[in-house]
Structure 1
Amino acid sequence: MRSPLLLSAVAALLLTLPASAAEDPGRAHVRAAAEAMGGEARLRALTGLRLRGVGHWNLLEQSERPTPPFLVMYEQFEEVRDLHRGRLRQRSESRGMVMDEWKGVTMLLADGVAAADFQGKWRPLGAAQLQDMQERLAFAPEHVLLAALDARDLRAQADTVLQEVPHHVVAFHLDRASVRLFLNARTGLPTAVETVDAHPEDPFWSVWGDVRTVLSFQAWTLEPGGLRYPRHWEWARNGQPHHSVTVTAVTVDPPLADADFAVPDDVKQGFEARRARKLDEAPVVRPDAPPVEVAPGVVQLPGAWNVALVAQDDGVVVVEGPLASGYSARVLDEAAKRFPGLKVKAVVSTSDAWPHIGGLREYVARGIPVHVLDLNRALVERLVASPRTLVPDALARKPRAAKLQVVDGRRVLGTGKNRLELVPVRTETGERMLFAWLPEHRLLYTSDLVQPQPDGTFFNVQQVDETVEVAAREKLPVSQVFGMHLKPTDWSALTTAVDKSRKP
């Protein structure tokens, strides 16, 4: 047994030591990083920054395949950051594959409100954009070091080698997100910020649960007033290159005018209304878009994302499991209400678009078989395995194995008048899609390949042409089509669009 006198002596000795002697080394590492950037006092005294630059976004979800190369959207921007009040004003122009000319937008973050000026009219944004803009400020180098120093749980982790250079690693939490900083052991400067957080209101990133983002810095320059600042930023999400920015000009402590951050009152009210609408609570049945019986026992639910219910003698087949687990739960409720006594026996997922698979985990949680194209198997397996510790769903709370049914060729699902034939598309833009053919009704479900536009034309007639080619290849005498974003439409509308596009 240790002597009480000895314990008292040790305690007294600890009280006499300088704070740094008992301090976690992580805090010393962060202080050194702040010193390398110009000093903690300089960082805390910064009132704002004006940045100009160029960059690009890799369209990870919109590209034809889930691996590089990705489609790209280019940008040029100017933004003003009010560092003491957490405000951001960004004017950007974008141009890419579907945008032949530069198109501009001004986005604003002020007083917890996110808004955007489109063509001279301010409109409210939502919770997803608010989170994006807050993260742009929170994890920037001028803020993240101070956030680390202010964190009560800041701690050192094991040193590592990053980009062939030794680095100190420190960890802490910022609100819900867990954060790790990688600090160059030789220069002190931060090389990367790694965060793990959920994006529950983003229809793309909510699908992946706990998302790992790595923001890397390079091309440091000495700015007026002694601030060191990185001129090149790279974001990667879940291991894929996501966003790249080169800062071409930095103004330290620019003049800040309240008028530049003013949000109209009606926009503030609109934002609060939008923020209150949760993605997981999106309605399956909308008053302005009632369910449509496409054929006897075949119902299209034109909700936030369309879902089809196909009643067969031994159960209901759900076509598509989009958006979120809560959305799928309401689809299942709707199926039970419309077809009492028939269980849901299967769900068919027809594409690899992230919002289109976002609700599949609910079916897995209920033990319902999931039919997927062979090329999408790995994607769906990754979805099922994705961690959900921050915003758990039913599958996270009670894990179970998925009953995946892989479709590698034309396959019949069910019997009777509403039997389905699942048809792999296997075209250039439809490579990762499945069609569902109902031969008794001459009705073809076209997945995401046919997308109408507000003016009555179709987006990318190439995709419509591929749909016509698949029907010819598979010898499908189609009378009518419907799809993920397509209401029931006569087949002639597709063939007419293709014929018109082919004309000189």
Structure 2
Amino acid sequence: MKYLKSIIFIGLCLVQFNALAHSEISGDLNHEKHKAEKLLWHMANAIGGKHRLLSIYSERIVSHGSRFEPEQAAGPGHAPVPVANYTQVHRRDFTTDRFRIEWENDILYPWTIARTHAEIINGKFGAVFGFDTFIPPAPEFSPMFSTRMAMRIKQHLMSSPAYLIHHAFANRQGLRYEGKVNFKGRKNFVISMIGLHERIKVYIDAHTHLPSKTETLEDDPVYGDTLLEVLFEDWRRVEYIKAPFHVRFRFNDAIINNEIRTEISFNEPLQDELFEVPETLTKPFEPEQFAWGDRSSQMFARMLAMGVPIDFDQSNPQTAQLFPVSDNVFHIVGGTHNSLIVEMENYLIVIDPVLYSQRSNTIIGMAAQIWPEKPIRYVVATHFHNDHIGGIRSYAAIGATLVVADSAKHNLSAILQAPHTVYPDSLAINPRKTTIETIPYQGELELTDGSNSVRIISVPNVHSEDILVAYLPNQATVFMSDVYNPGLPIPLPAQFDNWAINFYDAIIPLGLTIEQFAGGHGLPGPTPFQLFEDTVNASR
């Protein structure tokens, strides 16, 4: 009996201890939540007052800005490239999930072309009216993919304090106090809230109580877990509401969007026809694609700024079709980017791990079905640009040897070491030691099984300092990305001519027998090398 009483006593003590610990944790959480709500109120009052802000039913922003791309420079670590100048009129209906953005986009890189279009989001449907990319014959009207819808909604949520406060009060249960920090030499309180899926932090100036910036972690193929920041400056009063007239987007510590707002107005009447999406343009809402557009918004936004439409899912097997170059060489074509796969006696070689890991996973799965006994032993990145190396981690995860130019080795090492916790990829789930082969400037690496060979040759080019070309002697075929795009149906600017001339002048002195050209963009299958020569001669 004494033993039983002791057990009961100990049990009651444990119950009381757990209850006390739980109450302390709950109390801490409630206290932190109360702090976050209090700071939200202070921020709302500084901007114009909670009641005034929550009475806003529409917002109109007229702005102009410039876009920059750090991963399209001539070499790793070089200054970001100016890729576009734009003006836009952005209308947001706060009472419903409706947006309209009217664009005039002057694309500067990699082509010079002006594009005028409107993007409309109405609930779970969206559409694009006008031409927004470089690819003709693009339809004048097209449905909007769910990835793009999420990207645009997230950008507005993070860059419009008025909309952000609406969202925060509507989702108060998700508020969290994150502490205090120094930002730009000033004390800031930090709170966070649930965005579309990922958490968004808001830095609140301790003196003015205005938001200094918003930030969130994104998943990027090259950078991995990457900080996206939206910085607010030049606050002015619009009627009774304060608004920032200078907004900058910073990604991985680089400014990628510098926006000046010239007009901001609230509560203008909005006609329903501004947000109409014809039934013929409605596309089924895809929750997984929407989540992808949220967690990787800047991957899509940065490419769209250059007129490259990667907002559709290029991990779909329909975007990775095989076109024969010879009996054992195949051009992998579909969507915006192409690769090459070479069948050797006991293994496979892939040239260009384009876009992102999902695309690479599709190619890896397709190769395993067609050649189940032959692993992918080598993958070659033609250059360091993010759209041509973004899928390389998937190949590292299956044990392939990675081949890059010597100048890109440090960049590749950073890609392989980058943490991917926002959306773990196959290498994050199953990390492994990776073998890297590098090719010195104007050097060469031959991959051979005795009867077949692939020569990977470094050639100088102004497009990228680490350009590699794959030459297949048995097939008299060369594969190259960007510097020449066979059959690309648009007039190309002079810089493309320079890239092509650079490449021609570098490859001809090597004395290679070349009959066919396969490109990282452009037509499926090989095209006559003579066509490339004619293009170069006409451009000189």
**Are the equivalent residues in 2 in contact too, given 1:319–1:349 (CA < 8 A)?**
yes
2:308 paired residue number: none
Q: How far did residue 449 of structure 1 move?
A: 1.9
1:135 paired residue number: 154
1:379 paired residue number: 411
One of 238, 241, 246 as aligned partner of 2:255:
241
User: 1:266-298 CA deviation, whole Å, 9 max, x = no partner?
Assistant: 111377699697443343544xxx521x23422
**Are the equivalent residues in 2 in contact too, given 1:365–1:395 (CA < 8 A)?**
yes
Secondary structure class of the residue paired with 2:250: strand
Alpha-carbon distance in structure 2 between the residues aligned to 1:228 and 1:403:
55
Which structure has more relative contact order (CA 8 Å, sep 6+)? It is 2
2:460 paired residue number: 426
Letter paired with 1:78? V
Letter paired with 2:56? L
Q: How far did residue 359 of structure 1 move?
A: 2.2
In structure 2, do the counterparts of structure 1 residues 42 and 266 end up closer, same or farther at CA, with 3 Å as the change threshold? same
**Are the equivalent residues in 2 in contact too, given 1:169–1:183 (CA < 8 A)?**
yes
Alpha-carbon distance in structure 2 between the residues aligned to 1:394 and 1:273:
22
Q: How far did residue 418 of structure 1 move?
A: 2.1
Q: How far did residue 456 of structure 1 move?
A: 8.0
1:55 paired residue number: 65
In structure 2, do the counterparts of structure 1 residues 127 and 310 end up closer, same or farther at CA, with 3 Å as the change threshold? same
2:428 paired residue number: 396
Letter paired with 1:110? N
One of 220, 226, 235 as aligned partner of 2:235:
220
Which shifted more, 26-35 or 183-192?
A: 26-35
**Are the equivalent residues in 2 in contact too, given 1:176–1:197 (CA < 8 A)?**
no
Q: Does 1:145 align with 2:156?
A: no
2:503 paired residue number: 467
In structure 2, do the counterparts of structure 1 residues 85 and 97 end up closer, same or farther at CA, with 3 Å as the change threshold? same
Alpha-carbon distance in structure 1 between the residues aligned to 2:33 and 2:283:
46
**Are the equivalent residues in 2 in contact too, given 1:55–1:245 (CA < 8 A)?**
yes
Which shifted more, 94-103 or 29-38?
A: 94-103
2:98 paired residue number: 87
One of 96, 101, 104 as aligned partner of 2:107:
96
In structure 2, do the counterparts of structure 1 residues 270 and 361 end up closer, same or farther at CA, with 3 Å as the change threshold? same
In structure 2, do the counterparts of structure 1 residues 269 and 196 end up closer, same or farther at CA, with 3 Å as the change threshold? same
**Are the equivalent residues in 1 in contact too, given 2:384–2:411 (CA < 8 A)?**
yes
1:477 paired residue number: 513
Letter paired with 2:351? V
Q: How far did residue 23 of structure 1 move?
A: 5.7
2:299 paired residue number: none
Q: Does 1:154 align with 2:166?
A: no
**Are the equivalent residues in 1 in contact too, given 2:32–2:176 (CA < 8 A)?**
no
Letter paired with 2:213? A
Which shifted more, 482-491 or 277-286?
A: 277-286
After superposition, where does 1:247-396 map in structure 2 within 5 Å?
Answer: 247-269=261-283, 278-283=313-318, 285-286=320-321, 290-292=322-324, 294-304=325-335, 305-339=337-371, 341-396=373-428
Q: How far did residue 71 of structure 1 move?
A: 2.3
Alpha-carbon distance in structure 2 between the residues aligned to 1:332 and 1:278:
16
**Are the equivalent residues in 2 in contact too, given 1:283–1:327 (CA < 8 A)?**
no
Structure 1 unmatched runs, 5+? 199-204
Q: How far did residue 402 of structure 1 move?
A: 2.4
In structure 2, do the counterparts of structure 1 residues 282 and 127 end up closer, same or farther at CA, with 3 Å as the change threshold? farther
Letter paired with 2:118? T
**Are the equivalent residues in 2 in contact too, given 1:195–1:212 (CA < 8 A)?**
yes
1:106 paired residue number: 118
Q: Does 1:410 align with 2:444?
A: yes
Alpha-carbon distance in structure 2 between the residues aligned to 1:337 and 1:111:
40
Letter paired with 2:194? H
Alpha-carbon distance in structure 1 between the residues aligned to 2:488 and 2:113:
20
In structure 2, do the counterparts of structure 1 residues 303 and 325 end up closer, same or farther at CA, with 3 Å as the change threshold? same
Identity of aligned residues (%): 21
**Are the equivalent residues in 2 in contact too, given 1:151–1:173 (CA < 8 A)?**
no
Secondary structure class of the residue paired with 1:269: coil
C-alpha RMSD over aligned residues: 3.2
**Are the equivalent residues in 2 in contact too, given 1:56–1:245 (CA < 8 A)?**
yes
Secondary structure class of the residue paired with 1:152: helix
**Are the equivalent residues in 2 in contact too, given 1:51–1:250 (CA < 8 A)?**
yes
1:202 paired residue number: none
Letter paired with 1:212? L
Secondary structure class of the residue paired with 2:539: helix
Alpha-carbon distance in structure 1 between the residues aligned to 2:287 and 2:183:
44
In structure 2, do the counterparts of structure 1 residues 245 and 399 end up closer, same or farther at CA, with 3 Å as the change threshold? same
In structure 2, do the counterparts of structure 1 residues 250 and 310 end up closer, same or farther at CA, with 3 Å as the change threshold? same
Letter paired with 2:404? V
